[in-house]
Amino acid sequence: MRAAADEFTERGYEAASLRAVARRAGVDSALVHHYFDDKADLFAATLEAPLRPDRVLDIVLGAPREAVGETLVRYLLTQLEDERAAGRMVLILRTALGSGAGTRMLREFLTREVFTRLASLAHTDDADLRADLAASQIAGLLMTRYALKLEPIATATPDELARRVGPVIQWHLFGDLDGRAGPGE
């Protein structure tokens, strides 16, 4: 894990490889592959992330397209109901807001494993912007609920927040900008 953390810190998420981590740790790369399915898996383990954003998408994308926003919000908040998981997420968010290698690693990981996949759903010229706007809503919600503990958001149920924030996420991803109709239409 130390070798992985050093490799990601020095080279960033994009440039790091499982083979390079194995070389740094002085082990055969097959050993690293035995314990970690892929680079995203190793990176998440290095961060001790309470959930894997790329795997969250697998679950969320299994929902009907018209329910992606609400499903995403509900799933994230339900997974973070555990106090330890929420605390770990706050630490990760603070790392992302800082500067340096940690910020770069998180940005590269989220861009490659999450935002690019979300953007592909929109099938529009502005897919990347749509994905980033949806991500900004999620990041803001997580910061407000878990880091700032702003009431009543901090104690609202995941279902209530999914009902209110989900349509905003949905609109950012799939909304008709020509008609200018927003969430709730």
- Could you list the pLDDT tens digit for every one of the 185 residues in the chain? 888 878 877 777 778 889 999 999 999 989 898 888 888 788 777 776 667 776 788 888 888 989 999 999 999 999 899 888 888 788 777 777 776 666 777 777 777 778 888 888 888 899 889 988 998 899 899 999 998 999 999 999 999 999 999 999 999 999 887 655 555 55
In a shared domain, residues 21 and 33: yes
What residue type is 173 in one-letter code?
L
80 in Cβ contact with 89 (< 8 Å): yes
In a shared domain, residues 94 and 154: yes
In a shared domain, residues 101 and 175: yes
In a shared domain, residues 29 and 100: no
Distance, CA of 143 to CA of 90 (rounded, Å): 7
**Prediction pTM value:** 0.74
Distance, CA of 104 to CA of 8 (rounded, Å): 9
CATH number for the domain that contains residue 150 = 1.10.357.10
Residue 41's nearest CA partner among 67, 77, 16 is 16
The parent domain of residue 85 ranges over 49-185
Number of CB atoms found within 10 A of residue 184's CB:
8
Q: Which two tokens stand for residue 81?
A: 């109901």
